[in-house]
Amino acid sequence: MIYLDNAATTFPKPEGVYSAMDRFLRTSCANPGRSGHRMAVESQRVVSQCRQAVAGLLGAPSVDRVVFALNATDAINTAIKGLVRPGDHVVSTLMEHNAVARPLKRLEAEGVEVTYVPASAKGEVRAADVIGALRPETRLVAMIHASNVAGTLQPVEEVAAVTRCRDALLLVDAAQTAGAVPVHIADMGIDLLAFAGHKGTLGPPGTGGLVLGMRADPRPLREGGTGTRSESVEHPDELPERLEAGTMNVSGLVGLLEGVRHVMERSVEGIREHELAAAQAIEQGLARVPGVTLHGPRRFVRRAGVVSFSLENMDPRDVAAVLDTSFGIATRPGLHCAPLAHQSLGTYPVGTVRMSPGPFTTEADVRAAVDAVAAIAGAV
C-alpha cells in the first residue's frame, strides 16, 4: 500500500509508537492518579511526560494548560461549547471542517449569531475580512489553520494581533498543522488551539487535545472522577483536571508521547520541508496529466502538504477506488467533512480526490501516484 491519506490519519507510525504502546498495555495499564501502586504511578508519569512534550511542541504557556481529549473534534467542542452562550456573536470562515461548522450550527439554533467570512476560489481567507466581521459582542473567532481540502494556510497570526486587543478569543483548529507546520500558541497569540494526536503528531487514533492560552477559561463539558479532590462532589476547578473528567486513554497517550518525540527529533521544520517537497512533486506531475484540474493555491509557502484534484469525466470516488484496487494507493475522495470549503472551491457536491503525503512518503511513492493517475486518465 502506498499511503497518501495522511491528512486523515498518519501512517505508518514511528516504530517507537507501536513498541511503547504494546509494552505499556502489558506492564503498566492502570488508572493514572487513582491509586498509589506502581502501575498507577507509572501511568501518571507517562501522562505527565506526554503533557510536557505537547506543551513544548506547541508552545503552551504552562504544562497544566494542555488538556487531553478524544480527538481534535472533542477539543473543539470543549472550546466552543465551553465559552459561547446565547446572545454571543461568533466569527468563523467558509473553509471550516465540520468539527467547527456543526457545533456552531447547533449553537445558532440556541440563540448564538455566527458570521461566516468567505474565502477565495483557492481557499484563501483574508485577515481583513475576519477582522472586519468583529463586533463588540463577539465572543469567539473560530478558524482553521490549514484547510484539510486545499492545504491553504490561513492568517491566524494577523487575526490574533487584533483579537488580543478586544474581548474576543481566537480558537484555531490545528488538526492539519500541529506537528507538520511550526505552531507556537504563545508566540502566535492564539487563545485556544485544538490538535489531533493521530495526524501530524504521529500518535494513535483516540488522542488529541486543547491547548489553552492564559485568556481562555472554558467551562467543562463533562464532570466526574479526576483522581483529585475525591472528598468533594463538586468538580475541581483546577486545570487540566477541570476539563479531563473520566479515565484517560493512557495507552493512546503513551503512543502520542512517542510520536511527539519523533517529530521533535526530526524537527517540525524538517517534516514540513519533506511533506511540501512531496506535495509539490505530486502537483507538478498531475499538472501534466490531461484532464486533471488542481484545486487550491499554487504558492507552497502558504500551503500544508495537501493536494486536491479532479479528473475530467470521472467521479472522485471512482478515481480513488481505482487507485486503491488497481494500484494499491490510498487517497481520500469526496467532501472531506468540509462541505463549506468545497462550496468555496467550486467542487461541491462531488468533491475532489485528495492526496496527502506524510513524513514517510518516498519519491517512489510520488512517482507511482502520478503514473497511476495518468494511467487512469488515459483509460477514460
3-state secondary structure of 338: coil
In order of start, what are the domains of the chain with their CATH numbers?
A: 2-10+268-379 (3.90.1150.10), 15-266 (3.40.640.10)
Measure Cα distances from 315 to 47, 293, 322, 368 in Å: 45, 13, 11, 21
What is the SS3 assignment for 85? coil
The reported pLDDT for the residue numbered 173 is 98
Distance CA 223, CA 329 (A): 43
Question: How does pLDDT run across 258-317, given as a tens digit for each residue?
Answer: 999 999 999 999 999 999 999 999 999 999 999 999 999 988 888 999 999 999 999 999
- Report the distance separating Cα 226 and Cα 223, nearest Å: 9
Please report the pLDDT score of residue 291 as a whole number: 97
d(CA 126, CA 143): 12
pLDDT computed for residue 225 by the predictor: 81
Cell matching residue 152: 491553504
pLDDT number for residue 226: 79
Largest CA distance in the chain: 70
pLDDT of residue 30: 86
Give this prediction's pTM. Answer: 0.96
In this predicted model, what pLDDT tens digit does every residue of 139-159 receive, in sequence order?
999 999 999 999 999 999 999
* pLDDT of the residue at 80: 98
Q: Decide: 190 and 181 in contact? Cβ < 8 Å.
A: no
CB 58 within 8 A of CB 179: no
Which grid coordinates are listed for 77?
A: 467542542
pLDDT given at position 223: 87
What does the DSSP assignment read for 116-163?
Answer: EEP--TTS---HHHHHHT--TTEEEEEEESB-TTT-BBP-HHHHHHHH
User: Model confidence at 137, in pLDDT bands (50, 70, 90)?
Assistant: very high
The mean pLDDT of the chain is 96
For 302, residues 6+ apart whose C-beta sits below 8 A from its C-beta are: 124, 152, 153
Q: 209 pLDDT exceeds 70?
A: yes
- Cβ–Cβ contacts within 10 Å for residue 110, how many? 11
Instruction: Tell me 303's DSSP state.
Output: B
pLDDT at 380 over 70: no
Burial class (CB in 10 A: 0-12, 13-18, 19+), 329: buried
Three cell numbers written together for 270: 524538517
> Which DSSP state fits 314?
S
pLDDT in tens, 20-61: 999 999 999 888 876 789 998 999 999 999 999 999 999 999
Calculate what percentage of the chain has a pLDDT beyond 90: 90
Classify 292 as helix, strand or coil.
Answer: strand
List, for residues 72-88, the tens digit of each pLDDT value.
Answer: 999 999 999 999 999 99
**pLDDT surpasses 70 at 325:** yes
Report helix, strand or coil for 66.
strand
Please tell me the distance from the alpha carbon of residue 31 to that of residue 2, in angstroms, as a whole number: 38
Strand order across the beta sheet in which 208-212 lies: 66-69, 208-212, 192-196, 169-173, 138-144, 89-93, 113-117
pLDDT at 281: 98
